Every structure is written in structure tokens, then in C-alpha cells.
């Protein structure tokens, strides 16, 4: 528990001061976020935010890494192979996001050269990451809700494809959610908090969660990201003084997906990232309706769905807080399912 608290507190402090430094750094260089206008079917009502410093996700990822390292200063917590692989994967996704952000800022347009190719690159990378995790660790190859021992056992190839799609889909879902001040960072904070609890629970009950590899190290990892998001949210809350950018969204999405995969709670991720599922789902539905109608009709005034509620008259802060509440309900429900399953097991044992 001390290691988890160290990771979270250290990451929060580094993120809090690191984000402030990034705001000053980017402002001095005139590097701000371009906003898609009416000609690109973008949120024209957000044009006032154009020029706000971006790439704040650097502070989140950097702070999380520092917090994770600080927690290992104490004896008893080893650097696990599994978490090292997760970190390499998360940093790769962060690099992809950084390149796209950098190009957007340089071109002063909200689409970098990767805006089409990025999906294919991250999809292939996600599959390779899942394969690496399988061949290098003893991770459980099951599709499950709360425990590796209870779930659908699948062949390695099937699990790799499944896990790869989970990583890819979650990175995209978080990226889609990152459209309002503090929405993505606030919901991610709750998700990482849930995974911290799940990981520590698995660590304290190895007889029940024996298929989970190195749960304490993953708990420290999740706590470090929670701390990074918390420190960043201080500056990212409405009105945001900095945006996380793709560098933060892709890294956070990958980190959440890896938490679910390594802790054998893959299907529980749908609830823990419920707001992200809703946001990404709204984009898919909007595209489906638009194409099915011969490009004439749309279900929402604008997707992702948070823009729809803005356009029907909700203030941005109202949308954010209500979406945070939805996220909190989803995360609480996921934890209730996890703890309920544990209670059923222990009741059966006794």
C-alpha cells in the first residue's frame, strides 16, 4: 500500500508542477492547439480555444513514469517484466501522439499527416504489443470479467487479436473523449483509481487471483497514472489552460487497456471506461446513420456526443460534470461487480 501511495503522490506533484512549466514553455513559443472550423465540420463554437497550449499529456506520462520509479525505491517491489513491456508500449503510443500533435501545431491545422495513417499504425502496433505480452509473460489468455480462472479460454492467436483490438479501441475511445476541458483526464482518473483498487485486491488475495502476474507492480502503475491525471486536471479543468493532446490521450488509452488485460478484467473495461465507450459509440452510430441515409441525415447534431449536448444548449461545464457523473456511476458499478464476485468466492470457501 505504501508503494501505491508513493507512486500516486509523487506523480501528482510532478504532474502539477510539470504541467505548469509546459504551459509557460509552449506559450513562450506560441505553440497552441488549432481547432477544426466550419469548413472541416468541426466544433466551431470552440474556436475561442484556439491557441491554447497543447501536448500537456507529456506531463501526465512523464509524471506517471517518475511516480512508478519512485515507488520502486522501497524494498520488496521488483521491476516486473510485464510492467516494463506495458511501459514500452504506452511510451510508443505517446510518441505516436506526440508526432501527430507536433505536426498539427507546426501546420496550424487540427489534422497532422497521421490523421488517416495513425489508425493503421496504432492498430498494427497494438497487435504486436499484445503478442509481446503473451510470449514474454505468463499472462492469462482468457476473455473474462473479474478473474482469469473464470472466463473463456481461447487459443493464443485469438487472444492476441482480441487484446490488440482492446488496446487499439481504447486508445481511440479516449482520444475521441478528449474534446472538452477536463473530460478525458477526469474520467481517466476514475478509471485508474478503480484499477489501483483491483490490482491491490488481487495482490492481497493471491489464492483467488493467482492467474494475475505481478499485481502490485500494476497497482503502482495505475496509481502513478491516476496521480498524473490528478495533477494535470488542476490546469486542464474548465477553462483549460492546456490540453493533453494526442500524446496524452493515446498513452492514457493504452495504459487503461493494459491494466484490464494484465489484471484479467478485460470485459470489465467496458464499464470502467463507460464514458469512453459512449463517446466512441456515438461517433460510430453517427457515421452509420450518415452513410445509410446516403449522406443526408445525422442522428446527433455533432459527434462525439458531448458536442451534441453543447449544441442543444447545455453549457460546457454542465456537460463535463454530468459526463463525469456518468463515468463515476460506471466505475462504481464495475467495482461493485468485482467486489461482489470476491464476496461470492469467499462465502463459498467459508
Lookup: cell for 247: 500524446
| pTM across the whole model | 0.92
Determine the pLDDT at residue 169.
95
Segment 10-14 mean pLDDT: 97
Determine the pLDDT at residue 19.
96
Decide if pLDDT at 68 tops 50: yes
CA distances from 212 to 1, 198, 202, 203 (A): 18, 11, 7, 8
> For residues 55 and 125, what is the distance between their CA atoms, to the nearest angstrom?
21
Segment 119-145 mean pLDDT: 90
- How many other CB atoms sit within 10 Å of the CB of residue 331? 24
Q: List the one residue out of 108, 238, 260 whose CA is nearest residue 173.
A: 260
Are 100 and 118 in contact by the 8 Å Cβ rule? The answer is yes
Determine the pLDDT at residue 102.
85
Q: How confident is the model over 219-234, as pLDDT tens digits?
A: 999 999 999 999 999 9
Percent of the chain with pLDDT over 70: 89
Contact residues for 154 (Cβ-Cβ < 8 A; gap 6+): 141, 142, 143, 162
Q: How confident is the model over 271-327, as pLDDT tens digits?
A: 999 999 999 999 999 999 988 888 888 888 888 998 899 889 999 999 999 999 999
Q: How confident is the model over 76-127, as pLDDT tens digits?
A: 788 889 999 999 999 999 999 998 888 878 776 555 555 567 788 999 999 9
Average pLDDT, the chain: 88
Q: Is it true that the peptide bond before 239 is cis, omega within 30 degrees of 0?
A: yes
Amino acid at each position: 500500500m505504501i508503494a501505491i501511495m508513493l507512486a500516486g503522490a509523487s506523480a501528482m506533484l510532478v504532474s502539477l508542477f510539470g504541467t505548469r512549466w509546459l504551459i509557460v514553455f509552449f506559450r513562450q513559443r506560441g505553440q497552441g492547439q488549432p481547432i477544426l472550423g466550419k469548413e472541416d465540420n468541426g466544433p466551431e463554437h470552440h474556436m475561442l480555444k484556439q491557441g491554447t497550449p497543447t501536448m500537456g499529456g507529456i506531463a501526465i506520462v512523464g509524471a506517471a513514469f517518475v511516480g512508478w520509479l519512485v515507488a520502486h525505491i522501497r524494498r520488496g517491489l521488483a521491476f516486473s517484466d510485464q510492467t516494463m513491456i506495458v511501459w514500452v508500449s504506452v511510451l510508443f503510443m505517446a510518441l505516436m501522439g506526440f508526432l501527430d500533435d507536433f505536426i498539427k501545431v507546426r501546420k496550424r491545422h487540427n489534422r497532422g499527416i497521421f490523421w488517416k495513417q495513425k489508425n493503421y499504425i496504432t492498430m498494427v502496433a497494438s497487435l504486436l504489443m499484445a503478442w509481446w505480452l503473451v510470449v514474454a509473460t505468463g499472462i492469462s489468455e482468457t476473455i473474462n470479467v473479474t478473474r482469469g480462472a473464470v472466463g473463456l479460454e481461447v487459443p493464443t492467436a485469438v487472444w492476441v487479436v482480441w487484446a490488440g483490438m482492446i488496446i487499439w479501441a481504447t486508445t481511440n475511445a479516449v482520444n475521441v473523449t478528449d474534446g472538452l476541458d477536463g473530460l478525458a483526464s477526469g474520467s481517466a482518473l476514475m478509471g485508474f483509481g478503480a484499477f489501483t483498487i483491483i490490482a491491490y485486491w488481487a495482490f492481497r488475495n493471491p489464492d483467488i487471483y493467482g492467474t494475475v502476474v505481478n499485481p502490485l507492480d500494476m497497482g503502482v502503475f495505475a496509481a502513478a497514472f491516476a496521480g498524473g491525471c490528478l495533477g494535470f486536471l488542476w490546469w486542464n479543468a474548465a477553462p483549460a489552460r492546456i490540453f493533453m493532446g494526442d500524446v496524452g490521450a493515446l498513452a492514457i488509452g493504452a495504459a487503461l487497456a493494459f491494466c484490464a488485460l494484465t489484471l484479467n478484467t478485460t470485459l470489465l473495461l467496458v464499464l470502467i471506461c463507460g464514458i469512453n465507450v459512449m463517446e466512441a459509440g456515438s461517433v460510430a452510430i453517427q457515421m452509420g446513420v450518415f452513410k445509410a441515409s446516403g449522406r443526408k441525415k445525422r442522428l446527433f447534431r455533432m459527434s462525439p456526443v458531448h458536442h451534441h449536448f453543447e449544441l442543444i444548449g447545455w453549457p460546457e461545464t454542465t456537460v463535463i460534470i454530468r459526463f463525469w457523473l456518468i463515468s463515476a456511476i460506471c466505475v462504481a458499478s464495475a467495482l461493485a461487480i468485482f467486489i461482489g464476485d470476491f464476496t461470492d468466492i469467499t462465502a463459498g470457501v467459508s
